[in-house]
Amino acid sequence: MPRRIFLLSSGFSIPLGACATRCAPCLRYTDSDLLDCRFPHRHKTPEFVAFSSLLRMTTKYKFQDIRSQIILDLLPAYPTQLSDYKTSSCLGEAVFGSPIPHANSVLDLFVKCKVSFALPFAYYRACVTSDPASLSVMTGKTALPPNTLKVALRGQARLKAEELQLAKKLAFQDCRAWSCSGRTPSSRARVFNWILPEAATRGGILEKGGFTGSGYCSRCEETFEQGLEKAQEQTWENLLSYFSLSTWEKAVDESF
């Protein structure tokens, strides 16, 4: 009864039995005890303020089945596999629509409510969505608790070291093609700016697109593409260790 009352009062439920596709949450219940379907069929996560209130309440009062439905909508936006990251049309805090919340606020919520599967990418977003000082210079609602901040700063340092290593590796590769501008030291700045742009909001390795500089030979361009692809795979594999988190499988189990 408390579960049904909460669903009806939340304003997000649809009529009982309206699930024509028999989504994952519904399959856990018999026809005599069918849970009201909501989020899988709305295809829209509520604004962050509403989502935050629902998640905090369901976590506090241990409405686990309702909590599971709420966070199911987050799976595409906070993927657990690199392939899902590349195909997702909405990533990170953008899933909450307008106004888009600060990445730090989302991370803080996920830590406190133990949405473990979303934490690796939530930490990553907090580290790369703004300028390097954004984690240490915070005010009001964007401030992170000391323990969360410590983990984020440590992971951010590792991500930046990874970017620098990639920039050096690609910029200083040896090319002997006479027509390739990569032979001249002055051209290497373009490769550095590709991986480490001067813009304050620059994203991380996962957000990097292909190299667009001119004058490089096809061999160099292929090397850039392969180097970036490999670096993105390594970054994804290292996200958990960078932020001292459990395995993906364990994180999913802990969340649901």
User: What tokens appear for 51 in the block?
Assistant: 């989502």
Distance between CA 129 and CA 132 in Å, rounded?
9
List the end-to-end C-alpha distance of the chain, in Å, as a whole number.
Answer: 21
Extents of the domains making up the chain: 158-242
- Render pLDDT for 238-255 as a digit per residue (tens, 0 to 9): 999 999 998 989 999 989
- Render pLDDT for 17-75 as a digit per residue (tens, 0 to 9): 434 344 444 444 444 444 444 444 444 688 999 999 999 999 999 999 999 989 998 99
Closest-CA residue to 51 (of 79, 82, 78, 28): 78
Distance between CA 158 and CA 164 in Å, rounded?
10
What pLDDT was estimated at residue 229? 97
- Render pLDDT for 61-94 as a digit per residue (tens, 0 to 9): 999 999 998 999 899 999 999 999 999 999 999 9
What pLDDT was estimated at residue 150? 92
Q: How many helices (H) and strands (E) does the chain have?
A: 12, 0
Query: Taking a C-beta distance cutoff of 8 angstroms, is the pair 117, 252 a contact?
Result: yes
Average pLDDT of the chain is 82
- Render pLDDT for 228-241 as a digit per residue (tens, 0 to 9): 999 999 999 999 99
User: What tokens appear for 205 in the block?
Assistant: 């390795």
Helix axes 119-128, 218-242, angle to 10 degrees: 120
Name the amino acid, one letter, at 30: T
Residue that wins the pLDDT comparison between 102 and 182: 102
